[in-house]
Amino acid sequence: MTVEMDKIVSLCKRRGIIFQNSEIYGGIGNTWDYGPIGVELKRNVKDAWWKSVVYERDDMEGLDAAILMNPATWKASGHLESFTDPLVDCKKCKHRFKLDDINGDRCPDCGGELTEERSFNLMFKTFIGPVEDNASVAYLRPETAQGIFVNFLNVQKMMRRKIPFGIAQIGKSFRNEITPGNFTFRTREFEQMEIEYFVKPGTDEECYKRWVEERFNWYLDLGINKEHLRLREHESDELAHYAKSCVDIEYLFPMGWAELEGIANRGDFDLRQHSEHSGKDLCYFDEAAKEKYIPYVIEPSAGADRATLAFLIDSYREEKVKKEKRVVLAFKNCLAPIKVAVLPLLRNRPDIVETARSIAGDLRREFKAVYDDTASIGRLYRRQDEIGTPYCITVDVQSMDDHQVTVRDRDSMQQVRVPIEGIKAYLKDCHAQEKLVERGNK
């Protein structure tokens, strides 16, 4: 049983993780801002992804393409024509629904009569320059993928890559979703972490399977409970217009199983379309085999916001400690927004405060470290537990004599005394230990 979404939303607000966007004006539906703690968490999620798919592999390159693209891109990609949701409206209560969400032919809210279905394009349209006419129409990209396809030859040639190789990109995408909701699960502006992996036709299915396994394990390695993850193969009638096959990695969100990441075999659809529409030959020439072909593409496509939400939900724990409720976000160290908090036991003792500040200053060079003396030690611990800080260092009266501090472990709440000069090495060691455990679990 996972935690209710309301608890996550309220914790996120209370602890500076996620705020409602433009809240002072009453907000704008289903749009969220990452606060000081949330921005660190989401950045750690993106860094963990980049490390795993770019730095730890020798067959990947990175890219950061623009959000606005030549609109011809969207004609070629099929998004102008096919990136639509069929909609119906209730004639009585005026509520709007995706046809997919309706069972039967009456309004699910009031039982009223429904209109005929209409197609609604999910792309946000805008205009470049001062004149709002057809010649100046542009779209906010609905997926980062197309920025990769149009750069396929640039990357392949300039980086002297041989197939198979892939391109990874993290960036914002925009969709005028009809039914956004469930906190950051479905929003109109979101961040994607996408890979387009180019392979020789015929080797695609095997490569597709490898990526599914690789990406599934990524979530497990970062601490998601195996029971909360599953794979779901798409039926042929739900495949996107470009996909030969697709499997979703689903997570057990509070509202039920839902897509976390999709891995698709896009065949040669995109490169072929872009070749035809641009008139540029996007074939790959295999020097050794003297063969020319349009590569097939395997696409693992994840959402940075959705993954962040899943890590938040999965790490949420409520415990009873001395008859009091303790809320903990039990993140893996690498995801924790703050790695260590330094807390003085007495804030009216200048020597204790100075020592604590100096330890925090020193640690800051290596870890995301904070100093906090704004409450009693019990409250400070609770605050750090709720944002998932794995270690708290307390400087007390005894520290002034023995030059040792207390290190408290978030999960076990066990405390050990560590010499001040050895604290950095101690924390580095804890981090290394966690990595070893991860590797053992694989």
Binding site for ligand GAP (CB under 6 A): 143, 145, 175, 177, 186-187, 190, 192, 194, 259-262, 299, 301-303, 305-306
Closest listed residue to residue 263, CA positions, set 237, 298, 213, 290: 298
Distance from C-alpha of 431 to C-alpha of 37, rounded to nearest angstrom: 20
Residue 241 in 3-state DSSP?
Answer: coil
Sign of torsion, CA 107 112 116 120? negative
Residue 159 in 3-state DSSP?
Answer: coil
Residue number with CB closer to ligand GAP (97 or 381): 97
* DSSP string across 317-380: EEEEETTEEEEEE---TTT-S-SEEEEES-TT-HHHHHHHHHHHHHHHTTS-EEE--SS-HHHH
Per-residue H/E/C for 256-281: EEEEEEEEEEEECHHHHHHHHHHCCC
Smallest distance from the beta carbon of 49 to ligand GAP, in angstroms? Answer: 12
Distance from C-alpha of 425 to C-alpha of 218, rounded to nearest angstrom: 27
Per-residue H/E/C for 366-426: CCCEEECCCCCHHHHHHHHHHCCCCEEEEECHHHHHHCEEEEEECCCCCEEEEEHHHHHHH
Residue number with CB closer to ligand GAP (8 or 377): 8
Residue number with CB closer to ligand GAP (12 or 377): 12
State how far Cα 242 lies from the chain centre: 23
Smallest distance from the beta carbon of 243 to ligand GAP, in angstroms? Answer: 9
Residue number with CB closer to ligand GAP (189 or 286): 189
Q: Beta strand pairing status for 369-371 and 340-344?
A: parallel
Strand blocks (E) in 57-188: 60-63, 84-89, 96-98, 118-121, 124-127, 137-140, 165-174
Smallest distance from the beta carbon of 259 to ligand GAP, in angstroms? Answer: 5
Residue number with CB closer to ligand GAP (48 or 107): 48
Residue number with CB closer to ligand GAP (30 or 399): 30
- Ranked by CB distance to ligand GAP, the top (closest) residue is 303
Smallest distance from the beta carbon of 215 to ligand GAP, in angstroms? Answer: 11
Smallest distance from the beta carbon of 26 to ligand GAP, in angstroms? Answer: 22
Residue number with CB closer to ligand GAP (302 or 334): 302
Smallest distance from the beta carbon of 171 to ligand GAP, in angstroms? Answer: 11
Distance from C-alpha of 190 to C-alpha of 63, rounded to nearest angstrom: 18
Smallest distance from the beta carbon of 180 to ligand GAP, in angstroms? Answer: 6
Instruction: For residue 342, list its beta bridge partners.
Output: 371, 393
Smallest distance from the beta carbon of 309 to ligand GAP, in angstroms? Answer: 9
Residue number with CB closer to ligand GAP (142 or 388): 142
Distance from C-alpha of 331 to C-alpha of 334, rounded to nearest angstrom: 8
Number of Cβ within a 10 Å radius of residue 70: 11
Instruction: For residue 246, list its beta bridge partners.
Output: 264
Distance from C-alpha of 302 to C-alpha of 53, rounded to nearest angstrom: 12
Q: Which residues of 19-51 are buried (b: 16+ CB within 10 A; e: fewer)?
A: ebeeeeeeeeebebebbebbebbbbbbbebbbe
Residue number with CB closer to ligand GAP (302 or 427): 302
If you search the block for the tokens 């969220």, which residue do you land on?
A: 32
Residue number with CB closer to ligand GAP (174 or 381): 174
Residue number with CB closer to ligand GAP (15 or 175): 175
Smallest distance from the beta carbon of 12 to ligand GAP, in angstroms? Answer: 16
Smallest distance from the beta carbon of 175 to ligand GAP, in angstroms? Answer: 5
Label residue 251 left, alpha or beta by phi (over 0 means left) and psi (-120 to 50 means alpha): beta
Smallest distance from the beta carbon of 262 to ligand GAP, in angstroms? Answer: 4
